[in-house]
């Protein structure tokens, strides 16, 4: 009798429900582990919103947008917020926004779009390979750069939001150019430290 | 000549997948860390919830527990499965949470640790879950660890820094409470 009762308890226990861990928990764990010292950190959603806003404002040229997105993947991968293979939906959204906002521009020709997408796929794969090989030390090395990048991106955002572009306002324009230049420089340094040459963006002083 | 034979704890033979994940984690590989987390997250979250009886506290315990797991992986000595080692850390984190909330074990006299629960035919896992959730913290924690997770009183006592007698008495009272609750629902005869 005792054995029978014991078995029925075990049977009921075996069928107890399993609860699904909330998806945000992993991000919270990573934040606690790694990025407590990243003051300029923004949540991934904000980051994407920021990039899309910049594209919408047409202040980011396609090539810049491309590297900004790539940098975002790098950041998201390196901090563990995004795993290689999970980025497709987000990437598609960004490409759609890019197309919408730059309607009529040469970048939208089917051939260029195709190249763009191919580049993205290739970049993602290679970035994934690079980042999978990154150790804690390398991530620690690029972390201050990421903070700087975020700081400059925020500053650029402030400038764009606080004051509308005005040809007469030279100081505003100069500041914006300076911030953008610095930001691109930092971006280059981040990529330069983790990516092979062919994956790196043009050096700021060499561009166009 | 001494005939004393030293007993050495055998190393636990990990499966290749677990071994690869562990190696990756030790090198700080983020992919491996995510794989490790994904492998155990639901089971550990369920365990945290059963111990704390509160989803928010369970999430806090998961955060603290897994941070502890990743930071402490170098100390993993392979004397048990990786899952068992992780579970111990998570249990401690969850237990710490209920202690931080001033939810302590009651001091009880030592009693027999066996109580027969006569389950009626209408008993379902849902009723059992509900009855477990209604237990006081100390009772519930010991019941979950011993009856659901399969720990011994000795192991529970060590994990929670309580005596084996306290663990036994907590289990006894947990079962008694469950019986009372189930009877009130007309399930236990």
- ipTM score: 0.79
Cα gap A164→A57, rounded to integer Å: 11
- CA of A3 vs chain B CAs: smallest distance (Å): 9
Could you tell me if A194 lies within 8 Å of chain B, comparing CB atoms?
no
Query: What is the H or E stretch that residue B127 is in?
Result: helix B125-133
The larger pLDDT score, comparing residue A179 to residue A120, is at A179
Least confident of A109-113, A122-126, B3-7, B161-165: B3-7
**Please, are residues B47 and B149 in contact by the beta-carbon 8 Å criterion?**
yes
**Poorest-confidence range of A103-112, A150-159, B58-67, B115-124?**
A103-112
Please state, in angstroms and rounded to a whole number, the distance separating the CA atoms of residues A195 and A145. Answer: 15
CA angle A89, A94, A99 (to 5 degrees): 125
Split at pLDDT 50, 70, 90, the class of A122 is low
Q: Which of these ranges, A9-23, B37-51, B63-77, has the smallest mean pLDDT?
A: A9-23
Lowest mean pLDDT: which of A97-111, B95-109, B148-162?
A97-111
Interior angle at CA A144, CA A182 and CA B23, nearest 5: 135
Q: Which residue has better confidence, B67 or A107?
A: B67
If one compares A36 and A190, the residue with the highest pLDDT of the two is A190
pLDDT band at B18 (very low <50, low <70, confident <90, very high): confident
CB contact under 8 A, A33 and B70: yes
Instruction: Report pLDDT for A104.
Output: 42
- Residue of chain B minimizing CA distance to A8: B119
Q: Considering only CB atoms, which chain A residues are within 8 Å of B128?
A: 12-13, 16
Q: Residues A35-56: what's their mean pLDDT?
A: 46
């Amino acid at each position: 009798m005792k054995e029978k009762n014991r078995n029925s308890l075990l049977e009921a226990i075996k069928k107890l429900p399993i609860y699904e861990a909330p998806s945000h928990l992993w991000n919270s764990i990573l934040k606690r582990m790694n990025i407590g010292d990243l003051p300029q950190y923004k949540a991934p959603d904000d980051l994407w919103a920021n990039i899309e806003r910049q594209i919408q404002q047409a202040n980011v040229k396609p090539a810049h947008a491309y590297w900004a997105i790539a940098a975002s993947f790098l950041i998201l991968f390196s901090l563990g917020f995004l795993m290689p293979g999970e980025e497709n939906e987000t990437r598609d959204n960004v490409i759609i926004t890019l197309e919408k906002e730059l309607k009529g521009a040469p970048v939208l020709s089917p051939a260029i779009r195709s190249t763009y997408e191919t580049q993205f796929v290739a970049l993602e794969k290679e970035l994934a390979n690079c980042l999978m090989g990154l150790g804690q030390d390398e991530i620690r090395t690029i972390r201050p750069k990421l903070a700087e990048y975020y700081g400059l991106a925020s500053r650029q955002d402030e400038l764009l939001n606080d004051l509308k572009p005005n040809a007469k306002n030279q100081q505003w324009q100069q500041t914006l150019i300076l911030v953008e230049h610095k930001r691109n420089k930092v971006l280059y340094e981040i990529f330069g430290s983790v990516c092979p040459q062919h994956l790196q963006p043009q050096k700021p002083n060499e561009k166009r | 000549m001494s005939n004393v034979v030293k007993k050495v704890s055998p190393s636990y033979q990990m499966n290749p997948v677990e071994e690869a994940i562990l190696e990756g984690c030790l090198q700080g590989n983020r992919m491996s860390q995510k794989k490790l987390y994904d492998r155990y997250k639901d089971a550990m979250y369920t365990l945290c919830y059963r111990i704390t009886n509160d989803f928010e506290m369970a999430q806090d315990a998961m955060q603290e527990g897994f941070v502890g797991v990743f930071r402490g992986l170098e100390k993993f000595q392979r004397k048990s499965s990786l899952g068992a080692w992780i579970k111990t850390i998570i249990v401690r984190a969850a237990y710490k949470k209920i202690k931080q909330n001033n939810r302590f074990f009651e001091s009880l006299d030592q009693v027999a640790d066996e109580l027969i629960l006569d389950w009626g035919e209408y008993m379902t896992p849902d009723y059992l879950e509900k009855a477990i959730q209604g237990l006081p913290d100390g009772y519930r924690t010991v019941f979950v660890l011993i009856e659901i997770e399969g720990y011994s009183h000795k192991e529970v006592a060590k994990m929670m820094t309580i005596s084996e007698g306290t663990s036994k008495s907590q289990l006894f009272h947990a079962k008694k409470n469950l019986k009372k609750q189930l009877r009130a629902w007309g399930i236990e005869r």
